[in-house]
Amino acid sequence: MKPIHVIFVLLVSMGAIISFVLISDPTPNAAGLDHPTIAHIDIGGDGAERLAPIGRAPYWFMVALFSMVPFLLYLGISRHRRTNLVRAALSVGGLASLYVWHNMYTSYETYLATGETTIFLGFPEPTAWFVYGLWCSLVTYTATYFLGFDTFIFPKEDEKAFTELMAEINATRKAEAEAG
């Protein structure tokens, strides 16, 4: 299956999930509840109750999104430069993102079910997955782009061909300006 077809399937899936959320029953207390002791402050209320009407739709939406990112990045690389190394690097980034997202979401679900969470480097576990894990998982993409720029994105031979083309265009324009 071509990457563009995978992206299309993932976009349709995301559209279906959004449609499901839109037609689901309204979320109870979505706008929050009045704080019992402090006026003019709203509190969130029961998180599990708020998630109940849509179930795991947010989870699957983000799975589709994180699955789509490597394919979008892959399309940004010229066909003749799409090597196994590029595919491996983008796959690692995608799998790392999915791993972090899964742990972040399931640790939040566990917190909602039990009311207890562990603290990791000063944050509750779901927040720690976001703060420390998510950006780390995306470093793979940055490293692939940074380290592979001269190989996959804009190699020296492409730069040379571009420079020659621009010199030819400029020479033609100069000749036309002098003639006309």
pLDDT tens digits for range 78-123: 888 899 999 999 999 999 999 999 999 999 999 988 989 999 999 9
Task: Look at the block and give the residue holding tokens 């990791």.
Answer: 120
| pLDDT for res 102 | 97
Identify which of 60, 47, 53 has the alpha carbon closest to the alpha carbon of residue 16: 60
Is the pLDDT confidence value at 167 over 80?
Answer: yes
User: Residues 26-33: what's their mean pLDDT?
Assistant: 76
| pLDDT for res 17 | 97
CB atoms within 10 A of CB 61: 18
Does this model's pTM top 0.75? My answer is yes
CB atoms within 10 A of CB 148: 17
| pLDDT for res 111 | 92
Is the pLDDT confidence value at 49 over 90?
Answer: no
CB atoms within 10 A of CB 98: 16
| pLDDT for res 27 | 78
Is the pLDDT confidence value at 43 over 80?
Answer: no
Q: Which residues share a beta bridge with 10?
A: none
Distance CA 21, CA 58 (A): 9
| pLDDT for res 25 | 86
Distance CA 151, CA 154 (A): 7
Question: What percentage of the chain has pLDDT greater than the value 70?
Answer: 99
User: Residues 20-39: what's their mean pLDDT?
Assistant: 83
Task: Look at the block and give the residue holding tokens 């492409």.
Answer: 158
Give the chain as a DSSP string: --HHHHHHHHHHHHHHHHHHHHHSPPPTTTT-EE-SSSTT-EE---HHHHHTTTTTHHHHHHHHHHHHHHHHHHHTS-GGG--HHHHHHHHHHHHHHHHHHHHHHHHHHHHHHHS---EETTEEHHHHIIIIIIHHHHHHHHHHHHHHIIIIIS-HHHHHHHHHHHHHHHHHHHHHHHH-
Q: How many residues does the chain have?
A: 180
Q: Which residues share a beta bridge with 34?
A: 42
